[in-house]
C-alpha cells in the first residue's frame, strides 16, 4: 500500500489554506469548494454515508505535499470550536511531514496562529550515527502535527547508520 491522502477538519477554510500553504508549503490542487447535502450526485450520497443525515454541507479543499501525498481540508457548515487534544481517545492523533528547515516552520507556525509544543530534539541523542530530529506542533485549529528531519525508515530502522 501507498499513502494517498489524509483528511483534516479545520475551523475556517481561508485561514487553513493560508496556514497549510504558507507555513507547511503544500500546494493547492483544488481550491475551496462547497459540498451540500444531496442525493443526486455520487459525492452527495457518499457524504451522507460518511457524515450521516443532516450534515448541512461543508467546504473542502485539496492540497498536495511535495512528494504527492494529498491533504483534504474540511470546514463543516456547523463549525466546531478548536478542540483540546484528548490522548485518551482512540484514533489518529497526528500527521508528520519531513523538512530540513525546522526553525522557519516553527516560526511561521506561531506567526500564522499555530503552536509549537516542544523544543526540537534528537530522536537518538545517544547515537551520533543517527542524527534524526523531531518536533511536535499544532495548526491553528488544534490539529497536532510533527516534523521529522529524516525519512521514517531512516529514523526507526535498526540497521540505519
Q: Which domains does the chain have, with CATH numbers?
A: 1-79 (3.10.180.10), 81-161 (3.10.180.10)
In the structure, what pLDDT confidence band is assigned to residue 56 with cuts at 50, 70 and 90? Answer: confident
- Give whole-number Cα distances, 109 to 65, 79, 91, 117, 139, in Å: 17, 22, 24, 11, 7
Q: What is the mean pLDDT of residues 96-110?
A: 97
Q: What is the mean pLDDT of residues 38-66?
A: 90
pTM of the model: 0.88
**Percentage of the chain with pLDDT > 70?**
93
pLDDT digit string, tens, across residues 63-73: 999 999 999 99
Q: Find cell 474540511 and name the residue.
A: 74
pLDDT at 12: 94
- Give whole-number Cα distances, 79 to 24, 55, 89, 145, 155, in Å: 23, 11, 21, 21, 37
pLDDT digit string, tens, across residues 20-37: 999 999 999 999 999 988
pLDDT at 77: 83
130 vs 122: CA distance, rounded Å: 9
Amino acid at each position: 500500500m501507498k499513502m494517498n491522502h489524509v483528511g483534516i477538519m479545520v475551523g475556517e477554510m481561508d485561514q487553513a489554506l493560508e496556514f497549510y500553504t504558507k507555513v507547511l508549503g503544500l500546494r493547492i490542487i483544488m481550491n475551496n469548494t462547497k459540498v451540500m447535502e444531496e442525493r443526486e450526485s455520487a459525492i452527495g450520497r457518499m457524504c451522507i454515508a460518511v457524515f450521516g443525515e443532516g450534515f448541512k454541507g461543508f467546504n473542502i479543499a485539496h492540497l498536495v505535499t511535495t512528494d504527492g501525498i494529498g491533504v483534504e481540508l474540511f470546514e463543516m457548515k456547523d463549525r466546531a470550536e478548536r478542540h483540546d487534544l484528548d490522548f485518551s481517545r482512540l484514533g489518529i492523533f497526528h500527521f508528520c511531514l519531513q523538512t530540513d528547515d525546522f526553525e522557519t516552520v516553527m516560526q511561521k507556525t506561531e506567526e500564522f496562529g499555530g503552536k509549537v509544543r516542544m523544543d526540537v530534539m534528537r530522536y537518538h541523542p545517544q547515537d551520533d550515527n543517527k542524527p534524526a530530529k523531531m518536533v511536535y506542533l499544532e495548526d491553528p485549529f488544534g490539529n497536532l502535527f510533527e516534523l521529522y528531519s529524516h525519512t521514517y525508515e531512516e529514523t526507526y530502522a535498526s540497521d540505519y547508520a
